Each structure stands twice: as structure tokens, then as C-alpha cells.
Structure 1
């Protein structure tokens, strides 16, 4: 029986763990301690921080694993790279993982390889942050170089906001610096892709449904994403250049883009599959089980990325605009073939937080339809039939 190590036991990794178990694999799950649902399904659990690459390498050696993977999280990618390099198994390299996990190193690589991206500066203190505001063209984005799930990102439009933004970003980073980049005014969207044996297997551009707080946070996605032939060519070009810049191979890709003046700018590229229901959209849109192909790629078991369909579909997070204890969770939707999933991450009595970043989600919805217009209408209907009652703290 092949052994697969999965980093993370949270709600994003749960479908990956379930898929690996369905495939008959021996599944080792690694995560720091907590109330994470993936622990209950694992054959073996190690309580370890997934950012501790050296410890994870030692566990991988001890267990003599055949493969390693994750989904929906940036913080585990460097450990995957180190394990893949040390054991000689399939996966992103450590060099590539470092480039794609540190936004400062990523941006430098983008500049070297001609990837179109926003102007940026590295800052170490408040004085440098104020100087950056003067030398760059606001609005600006203050961004932790090592964060994920939209944490440590603050949009700054006025000099009076600099001290607040500085404090918020410093809370979310383990580094002694962060980056400030110009905010590109345009239409945000993203793409999922996979690189295997140095070939891009597919590219799936997707539209983004955004929540705006300190910065834009995706709360949903939809496909197909309609754009001109010129934009489609530019998406592929920028993604190919990003893959070369970051030396990505044998891994999923989560890309964040923005269109301005008919040109595609690369915001970030991650060496893992996206969160916010994105693997479910890949599976639904293309007609193959994306989680299964991620596992197969990690084990060098002939992943099959052949496209069988172009099924319009959409997803959205279930979120709250306030903190509180859940009194009731009601899904008033009648079962329908176009409603793929309505799931809740919490139960009655649990405490939830007002939505600010991706990890504040309460659940998710995935739907499909005959057309994109019909799909979005279905998504709106399903959202309207979900009622969450809270008791205020």
C-alpha cells in the first residue's frame, strides 16, 4: 500500500484526505494540534507545524512515504519542496517553493523574467513605509511577504493610514520586512493550472467574487471566465513566464491576476491548488476529479488531465457580517442536480467570526448550470435559502 503524506488537516485539505482514502492509500496527516476535521480520517497523525520543514523531512524519512501534497494553503509548500528534494519524490522543488512562498523573492523573479507585475518596494520600518508612499503611486498595497489566506494585506489610499497598515501587516508576518506595491486599478480574476513533467496540463481562468475590507478577499469564483482572444493569449503568456520565473514543476498553480488597459498583470502565483472551492470548480468544469489527479501526480501514478467538458459552474463561501454563537443553521434548498454542494464547517453552539479573511468562512456552496448566467442566478437563489441565526457575544 502506497503511503501519502498530506500537510494540513483543515477544511481545505479534508476533500484531499477523503480522496486519498477512497483511492486505497495509507494517509499520514501532519498539522499542528487543533480541532481540525482531517485528523479523524487519517491512518496516522503527526502533530507538527507544517512550516517546520526539517521536522517534516525527518517524519517523511521515518515513514518512507511515496508522495506528499497539500491544497489550499501556502505555508506548507516549502516543506513539500524540501521533502520532495530530499526523498527524490514527485513535487515542487525546494528552490521553487521558496520563490513562490515569499512574495519579495517572487516579485524579484518576476522582474528578472519579464513577468508583468505592479511596481514594488521592500520596507523594514515605518520610516521606509512613509518614504515608499512618496516614491510609489498610491493607492498602495501593504503586504506581508510570507502570509496566506489574504492575511497581512492592507490597501492604503492616504498617508494617514500608513501607521495602521504597518501595524496590521507586522502582526501577520514572521519576517522583519514586508513589501509595498502599487495597487493596479482594474478587474481582478484568477486561474488554476497544473504543471507536470515540465508541461502546463491545463489553464482554467476564473472570475472572482470579492469581499472588500482592509483589502480584497475572494469569497467565490465562477467559470467560464469570458475574455477576448488577446487577453486569453496574454493570460497564457504571463502564466508561462511565471512558471519559468519560479521554476514550477510537478505542482498545482493558483494564480491571481488583474486586467488593466487590456493587459494582464500578475499579482501572485502559488505552487498549490487554490482554496475557496476552486478544486471543486476545476473538477466540475473539466469533468475530471481534480483532487484525485493531485494525488496521482504526487505519487507519479499517471495523472489524467484530459478535458471532458466545459460545464459552467460557480461557488461561494458562506460568511457572516458579525461575530456570534450559532443558534441555528438552516439550508432551505430543495435537492437539485445543479446544486453540487452546500456544506457547513460549524455546528450549532460553535462561535464564528465576522468575515475578514478566507479562514473566517462558515461553509461553501457549489452549483452548476447550462449557462454562466443561469449558474450565477442559481448561486444567488441557493445563498438566499440559507439562514444562519447567531447569539451575540
Structure 2
């Protein structure tokens, strides 16, 4: 029986684990302790930190795995790359993993390869943070280079807020520096893609629903995201340059962009599939099981990214605006073939957090339809029939 090592056991990795099990694979999960749903689905669990690369390599060798993968998280990507290099399995290289999971190295690679991206500075001290306001054009983004799920990112429009931003980002990084980059005013959107045997298999642009706190955090997405032909061509060109710059291969791609004045600027590129229901949107829109293809690519089992359809679809996270314990969950939605999923990550009596970053989600909605307008209307109708009370 083929063995697949999955890094992470959270809500983002759960469908990946379930898919691998359905495919008849022996699934080994590595994750630190916690109330993670993937543990119950795995054949074997190692309670280790997915960022401990040496430990993950040790486990991979001990188990004699045939493939490794993750989804929805940046923190485990370097461990994937390390195992790929050490054991010769399919996936992105360690060098590529480093470039795509460290925003400082990523920006350097972008600049070297002519990728259109925001100007930036490396910042180590508070004095350098203040100096960034003299060198760059505000508003600025203070950004931890080793973060994920939108943690350690603060938008700063006024120099009076530098102290707060500096302390916030330093708290959310394990490194002694971060980057400050110019905030590009425009329309934020993204794309999912996959590179296999150095060939881009598909590129799916998607629109984003964004929650604005310290910075913009995606809480949902929709497809199709229609762009003028010349903008779409620019998007494909910038994405290809980014993939080349980061040397990405045999992996999923999660890309974030800003569109300003008809030009596409690259914010970040990750060497894994996106979170916030994005693999489900790929599957629904194109008509193939994306999780299955991710697994097949990791095991060199001839993945197929044949585009069978173009079904409009959308998703959105369920969030709350304060901390508290759930006292009631009410879902008055009737069965509907166009409601793909309504799920809750928590139960009555459990504590939830006021939404700030992606991991503060408490559930998700996924819908589809014949036309995008119908899909977006359905999404709003579904949300109106869900009530979550906190005590």
C-alpha cells in the first residue's frame, strides 16, 4: 500500500486527508497537539511541529513514504521541500520552498526576475521602521516574512501608528527583522494554479471577499473572475515570471495580486493550494477533484487537470465580531443542489475568537449556479439564514 505523509491536521488539511483515504492510501499525519479534525481520519499520527524539518525528514524515512503534501498553510512548505530533496519524492524543492515561504527572499527573487511588485525595505529596528516613511510612499504594509494566515501584517497610513505596527509584527515573527512595503491602491484578487513537470496545468483567477482589520484578510472567493483580455495576459505573464523566479515545480500555486491602472502587481506566491475553500472552488469550477490531483501529483500517479466545465461558484467563511462561547447555532437553509456545503468548525459551548486572521474562522459556505450573479445572490441568502449566538 502506498504511503502518503500529510503535514497538518487542521480544517484546511482535512479534505486532503479524507481524499487520500478514499483513494486507498495509508495516510500518515504530522501535526502538533491540538483539537484538529484530521487526526481521527489518519492511519497514523505523529504529534510533532510541521516546521521541524529534521523531525519530518526522520519520520518520512522511518515510514518509507511514497509522497508528501500539504495544503492551505505556508508554515509546512519548507518541510515538504526538505523531504522532497532528501528522499527524492515528487514536490517542490527545498530551495523553492524557502523562496516561496519567506517573504524577504521572495521579494528579492521577484526583483531579480523583473516581476512587477511593490517597493520594499528590510527593517530590523524601530528607527529603520520610521525611516521607511522617508524612503517609501505611504500608506505602508509592515509584514512578517515568516507568517501565514495573514498574521503579522499591519497597514500603516500614519507615522503615528509605527510603534503599534512595529510591536505587532515583531510579536508575530520568529525572526529579528521584517519587511515594509508600499501599499498599492487597487483591486485585490488572486489565482490558483498547478505546475507539474515544469508545465503550468491551469490558471484560475478568482475574485476575493476581503475583511479589513489591521490589513485586508480574504474571507471568501468567487469564480469566474472576468478580466479584460490584456489584463488577463498580463496576469499570466506575471504569474509565469513569478513561478520562474521562485523555481516552483510539481506543486500547487496560491497567488495574490493587486490590479492598478490596468497592470497586475504580484503581492505573494505560495507553493501550495490556497485556504478559504479555494481547492473546492477549483474542483467545482473545472469539474475535477482537485484534492485528488494534488495527491496524485505527490505520488507521481499521472494527475489529470483536464478542464471539464466552467461552473460559477463562490465561498465565504463564517466569522463573528467578538470573542465568546457559542450558545446557539441555527441554520434554516433547506436542501438545495446548488448549496455545496455549509459547515461549522465549532459546537455549542466552545469558545471562538473575534475575526482577525484566517484561523479565526468558525465555518464556511460553498455554493454554485448557472450564472455568477445567481451564485452571489444565493450566497447572501444562505448567510441570512444562519445565526450564531455568543455568550
Is structure 2 residue 110 aligned with structure 1 residue 85? no
What corresponds to 1:51 in structure 2? 51
Q: Report the CA distance between 1:185 and its aligned residue.
A: 0.3
Instruction: Give the SS at the match of 1:220.
Output: strand
The list of structure 1 runs, each at least 4 consecutive aligned residues, that deviate by more than 3 angstroms after superposition, is none
What corresponds to 1:179 in structure 2? 179
Question: Equivalent residues in 2 for 1:101-180 (5 A)?
Answer: 101-180=101-180
Work out the CA distance in 1 between the residues paired with 2:282 and 2:172: 30
What corresponds to 1:362 in structure 2? 362
Q: Deviations over 1:56-88 (max 9, x none)?
A: 001100000000000000000000000011000
Work out the CA distance in 2 between the residues paired with 1:239 and 1:142: 24
What corresponds to 2:269 in structure 1? 269
What corresponds to 2:236 in structure 1? 236
What corresponds to 2:251 in structure 1? 251
TM-score (norm 2): 1.00
Work out the CA distance in 2 between the residues paired with 1:338 and 1:99: 39
Instruction: Give the SS at the match of 1:227.
Output: coil
Q: Report the CA distance between 1:328 and its aligned residue.
A: 1.0
What corresponds to 1:15 in structure 2? 15
Work out the CA distance in 2 between the residues paired with 1:175 and 1:100: 16
Work out the CA distance in 1 between the residues paired with 2:297 and 2:372: 30
Q: Report the CA distance between 1:330 and its aligned residue.
A: 1.1
Work out the CA distance in 1 between the residues paired with 2:170 and 2:31: 24
Give the CA RMSD over aligned residues.
0.4
Instruction: Give the SS at the match of 2:317.
Output: strand
Q: Report the CA distance between 1:134 and its aligned residue.
A: 1.2
Q: Deviations over 1:302-345 (max 9, x none)?
A: 00000000100000000001111101111110010100000000
Instruction: Give the SS at the match of 1:130.
Output: helix
Question: Equivalent residues in 2 for 1:262-301 (5 A)?
Answer: 262-301=262-301
Q: Report the CA distance between 1:383 and its aligned residue.
A: 0.6
Q: Report the CA distance between 1:388 and its aligned residue.
A: 0.4
Work out the CA distance in 2 between the residues paired with 1:219 and 1:268: 17
What corresponds to 1:348 in structure 2? 348
What corresponds to 2:377 in structure 1? 377
Instruction: Give the SS at the match of 1:29.
Output: strand
Instruction: Give the SS at the match of 1:90.
Output: coil
TM-score (norm 1): 0.99
What corresponds to 2:197 in structure 1? 197
Work out the CA distance in 2 between the residues paired with 1:190 and 1:141: 18
What corresponds to 1:208 in structure 2? 208
Work out the CA distance in 1 between the residues paired with 2:172 and 2:57: 26
Work out the CA distance in 2 between the residues paired with 1:215 and 1:158: 14
What corresponds to 2:319 in structure 1? 319
Q: Report the CA distance between 1:359 and its aligned residue.
A: 0.3
Instruction: Give the SS at the match of 1:195.
Output: strand
Structure 2 gaps, min length 5: none
Work out the CA distance in 2 between the residues paired with 1:251 and 1:20: 16
What corresponds to 2:34 in structure 1? 34
Instruction: Give the SS at the match of 2:106.
Output: helix
Q: Deviations over 1:209-229 (max 9, x none)?
A: 000000000000000001100
Work out the CA distance in 1 between the residues paired with 2:144 and 2:331: 37
Work out the CA distance in 1 between the residues paired with 2:289 and 2:70: 15
Work out the CA distance in 2 between the residues paired with 1:176 and 1:31: 26
Work out the CA distance in 2 between the residues paired with 1:331 and 1:258: 35
Instruction: Give the SS at the match of 2:336.
Output: coil
Q: Deviations over 1:94-151 (max 9, x none)?
A: 0000000000000000000010000000000100000011110000000000000000
